[in-house]
Amino acid sequence: MLRLNLLLLLTFGFGMAFGQNSWKYYRHEFSAGIGIANCLTDLGGGSGDGGYLGDLHFVKTRPSIQFGYRYRITDRIAIKTSFTYLWIEGSDELSKNQGRKVRNLNFRTHIYEFGFQGEYYFIKEPLGRLNTLNAVRMGHKGSEIGLYGLAGFAPFFYTPLGQAEDGSWHKLRELGTEGQGQPGGASEYGKMSVAFMMGVGVKFIMTRQFNIGIEGAIRYTTTDYLDDVSTTYYDFSEATEDVSSTTIELADKRLSNGKGIPGGIRGNPENKDVYLGLIFSINYKLAEDQSIKPNLKKKKRKVKF
């Protein structure tokens, strides 16, 4: 009887110790997911001056895809790196602001983002069940979810496109629609910018190594040119470089009699652009005894006689 009690005590003690430090056995996590994206820029929006979540046009929600790697530092703190592709769009046609409707511009932009974020788990991830059928985890009475907040930054590349009257799409940066590269025109903008992000995420624990995640984040960028719109209409009669007819068309698509008059307000350079993403992911954790690097050396079999 004494031996049985001692055995039970040792087993319980080992289980408690493993449960408290289980996160150390699953520090490395890989994820892949798909989701949706939207944005807040100078184009589109509600009846006001723009820049509020109420200005989102859900009909302009577009797809996104993400691949990531997460490293757990403690049971509540983790860091994550990711590559995310997001497609965003906007159109003045949908705006409730009459001035924007008259402006009549639209865009679509492809974003290629490299994210770096820190995560704090308000609800710690439970250990999860063993990766076997009908296996039951002992000693756990909590929820099967983990809840965290995130913050970080993300350098990204982006390519704004504009639609001509014939329905074709053109890269706007090269066109210089606000007189970039011309005397008195707006400053040229680059192919790369940086966003600062914050958001929340939740994980639904399936097993010790598999979980399903939902993560949403808003990105505040350092550029006002996700939509190629920021300053004023340029007077292309002052251009010293050749200007294409496509540039003239996409620079000014106003519906009113004011079309063609330079100097009018085209965008608001005071407000930087914002984009958002929501990702649904499948996540896999490597156990401590699993190698991240593939073992390319094959073991030689010994022949028994």
- The pTM for the full model equals 0.84
pLDDT tens for 107-158 read: 999 999 999 999 999 999 887 665 544 444 444 444 689 999 999 999 999 9
Q: What is the mean pLDDT of residues 275-302?
A: 74
Lowest pLDDT segment from 212-226, 248-262, 272-286: 248-262
Looking at residue 132, the DSSP 8-state letter turns out to be: S
Q: What is the mean pLDDT of residues 66-86?
A: 97
| Inter-CA distances, 148 with 24, 44, 119, 227, 279, Å | 18, 32, 6, 32, 14
**CB burial of residue 210 (10 Å; 0-12, 13-18, 19+):** middle
CB–CB of 292/28 below 8 Å?
Answer: yes
Q: What is the mean pLDDT of residues 188-208?
A: 96
pLDDT tens for 86-95 read: 999 999 999 8
Categorize the per-residue pLDDT at 262 as very low, low, confident or very high, splitting at 50, 70 and 90: confident
**Which tokens hold the place of 182?**
């011309």
Categorize the per-residue pLDDT at 272 as very low, low, confident or very high, splitting at 50, 70 and 90: very high
CA dist., res. 293 & res. 152, Å (int): 28
How many residues are listed for the chain in this entry? 305
Q: What is the reported pLDDT for 24?
A: 86
Q: Is pLDDT at 53 greater than 80 in this prediction?
A: no
pLDDT tens for 210-232 read: 999 999 999 999 999 999 999 99
Query: Mean pLDDT highest for which of 36-40, 47-51, 206-210?
Result: 36-40
What whole-number percentage of the chain has pLDDT above 90?
63
CB–CB of 156/112 below 8 Å?
Answer: yes
Look at 128 and 14; give whichever has higher pLDDT: 128
CB–CB of 186/192 below 8 Å?
Answer: no
Q: What is the reported pLDDT for 83?
A: 98
Q: What is the reported pLDDT for 126?
A: 83
Neighbours of 89 (CB within 10 A): 22
**CB burial of residue 102 (10 Å; 0-12, 13-18, 19+):** middle
Q: What is the mean pLDDT of residues 41-49?
A: 78
Q: Which residues are CB-contacts of 31 (< 8 A; sequence separation ≥ 6)?
A: 66, 67, 68, 69, 70, 82, 213, 281, 282, 283, 284
Q: Is pLDDT at 182 greater than 70 in this prediction?
A: yes
Q: Is pLDDT at 282 greater than 60 in this prediction?
A: yes
Q: Which domains does the chain have, with CATH numbers?
A: 25-286 (2.40.160.20)
Q: What is the mean pLDDT of residues 234-259?
A: 87
Q: What is the reported pLDDT for 46?
A: 72
CA dist., res. 10 & res. 251, Å (int): 76
Q: Is pLDDT at 287 greater than 50 in this prediction?
A: yes
- Phi (first) and psi of residue 8, to 5 degrees: -65, -40
- Phi (first) and psi of residue 78, to 5 degrees: -145, 160
Helices and strands, number each (H, E), in the chain: 3, 9
Q: What is the reported pLDDT for 216?
A: 98
CA dist., res. 161 & res. 106, Å (int): 9
User: For tokens 């990204």, what's the residue?
Assistant: 156
Q: What is the reported pLDDT for 289?
A: 64
- Average model confidence (pLDDT) across the chain: 85
Q: What is the reported pLDDT for 62?
A: 97
Q: Is pLDDT at 35 greater than 60 in this prediction?
A: yes
**Which tokens hold the place of 58?**
């859900």
Categorize the per-residue pLDDT at 14 as very low, low, confident or very high, splitting at 50, 70 and 90: very low
CB–CB of 85/113 below 8 Å?
Answer: yes
Q: Which residues are CB-contacts of 120 (< 8 A; sequence separation ≥ 6)?
A: 76, 77, 148, 149, 150
**Which tokens hold the place of 68?**
């990531």
